[in-house]
Structure 1
Amino acid sequence: MSDSSAHGKETRRTARGRGQRTTRLPPEERKSMLIDKAADFFAEHGFEAGTRVLAEEMGITQPLIYRYFESKEDLINEVYSDVCVAKWRPEWETTLKDRSRPLKDRLHDFYHSYCEVVYDRRWVRFFFFAGLKELDINTRYVTRVSERLLKPICVELRAELGHPEDAPAISEEEFELVWLMQAMIFYQAIRAHIYRIRANLDPAFAIDTAIEMYLRTAPEIVAKACEAGK
């Protein structure tokens, strides 16, 4: 089927389904629109539904999707890049490593900015559906968080406490404690968008509590790890 034929059917279906007149979009704009609609679709229905159902919900033809994406996996990767990777803020890493300020203040600023991104319904549900489907995009994102955010937090705490920053290596207990802080903060979004048992999201309490618990518990664990490595 030619693109013009697919586009004609797309226009007619959209007009019938929504009572609106559509116009021909530039290829990049149309691709961006498809990614955005697919993100909403996967966030609500997961990855089991096929592209035929996605096309019907969008009011377009299935061949039109494959004109812009080689496969369903290619589309999912594009959605991942748009929903997760593109929302990554470089200043997160800069904030965490700014030793002109106390680590507690840096953690507060970082997590408030981080929650502005990851408390989004589409972000949370897409990420969880991908995990249930065992797609490698979760592994890629968790690795990014681990290497660029959580391990640096361990290093920065050591520096603030006057311990060697990377010798000995960060212990499992140090790293797990940072993950527990991260998980405690993120759990509010899970309750709201996965369990649907929280109507309003206010990250302030979770952030304050998680950071206080981390900074109160971590010094002893860090000291033990550094002592054992001598």
Structure 2
Amino acid sequence: MSARKPVTGSKSASEGKAEGKAAPAPRRRLPVEEREKQILAGAIQFFAQHGFDGQTRVLAQEIGITHALLYHYFPSKQALIERVYVELFESRWKTEWETLLDADDITPEDKLVRFYCDYASSVLTREFVRIFVYSGLSDHYITDNFFNLLREKLFPRLVRETRRYAGVTSRAKPSDRELELLLGLHGGIFYTGVRRWIYGQQIPARKDDPNGEGFIADRVQSYLLTASSILEEPKRGGARTRSRSPRQGSTETEKRPASPARTGKRIAGRNAKET
């Protein structure tokens, strides 16, 4: 009776299944600061895509961490939103912008053009624009805080330079009229980001001006000319007067209306003659 040869090269069914399915890679332990940056970067992308109604459980899955670990670093969703504001909005503000706008040797027009060109390239990113709009549609936390920053550090400087361009010497707080004029400029530049990142529209670019600085210069010039005509102070010796060109083809001059007293005397004299 021959001895049975040992079977080689065959595997059990369980062993085959085990080898066919790769074991999940162990989660890599990261230093605290690196893990926090990972969560923050993932949260910025998540909120930019889904808004603030997205669930943190889904956020954790997209980042590749457990829900519990997410809350270990950020104890609430609001805490995460506040941190996103600091990272994406507050940290984008440049003190160099304040230095530029406060310079005495640069014209107001050059200041505004240079500021808004750098501001647009630094701020109007997909994440900034979309999260800003989503905040305006939800709790306003980010929009309120960012507008407070602009009211403190930017708008007074821009109004001051606008007055300087228009020859206005007032140092009073910016009026509602001045701020509304300014927001027309500021909002118009931000709207280019809305057109691109919200509406999905192409922004035209010239070959000689790929960054759109010429469009910004046009907006600034239009704003300053409008503000100058509206805010110009009256000249000494009398109220400001604006010349009105006569209507084309008209040779008539405007006559001053007669006073009621003179009109009454004329009517009385006419009645006396008739009687």
Q: TM-score range with shorter-chain normalisation? A: 0.7 to 0.9
* Aligned-pair Cα RMSD in Å: 2.2
CA contact (8 A) 2:52 2:134 kept: yes
CA distance in 2, matches of 1:102, 1:21: 60
CA distance in 2, matches of 1:21, 1:128: 38
- 1:95-106 superposed matches below 5 A: 95-106=100-111
Secondary structure at the counterpart of residue 157 of structure 1: helix
Amino acid at match of 2:62: E
Aligned-residue sequence identity (percent) comes to: 35
CA contact (8 A) 2:135 2:143 kept: yes
Secondary structure at the counterpart of residue 190 of structure 1: helix
Question: Relative CO higher for 1 or 2, CA cutoff 8 Å, sep ≥ 6?
Answer: 1
Amino acid at match of 2:231: V
The answer to whether 1:144 aligns with 2:157 is: no
Greater fraction helix: 1
* Match of residue 232, structure 2, among 213, 223, 227: 223
Which residue of the partner structure matches residue 47 of structure 2?
A: 42
Which residue of the partner structure matches residue 72 of structure 2?
A: 67
Amino acid at match of 1:221: I
Which residue of the partner structure matches residue 211 of structure 1?
A: 220
Which residue of the partner structure matches residue 53 of structure 1?
A: 58
CA contact (8 A) 1:188 1:203 kept: no
Identify unmatched segments of 5+ residues in structure 2: 1-22, 206-210, 237-275
Radius of gyration: which is bigger? Answer: 2
Identify unmatched segments of 5+ residues in structure 1: 1-14
Which residue of the partner structure matches residue 184 of structure 1?
A: 188
Secondary structure at the counterpart of residue 232 of structure 2: helix
Secondary structure at the counterpart of residue 70 of structure 1: coil
Q: Aligned-pair distance for 1:226?
A: 11
Q: Aligned-pair distance for 1:134?
A: 2.6
CA displacement 1:95-121 (0-9 Å, x = unmatched): 112121101111111111101122210
> How high is the TM-score relative to the length of structure 2?
0.70
CA displacement 1:39-75 (0-9 Å, x = unmatched): 0000000011110010111121100001001100000
CA contact (8 A) 2:74 2:80 kept: yes
Q: Aligned-pair distance for 1:160?
A: 4.0
CA contact (8 A) 1:39 1:79 kept: yes
CA distance in 1, matches of 2:168, 2:233: 11
Q: Aligned-pair distance for 1:224?
A: 5.3
Amino acid at match of 1:190: V
CA distance in 2, matches of 1:147, 1:221: 24
CA contact (8 A) 1:185 1:206 kept: no
Which residue of the partner structure matches residue 18 of structure 2?
A: none
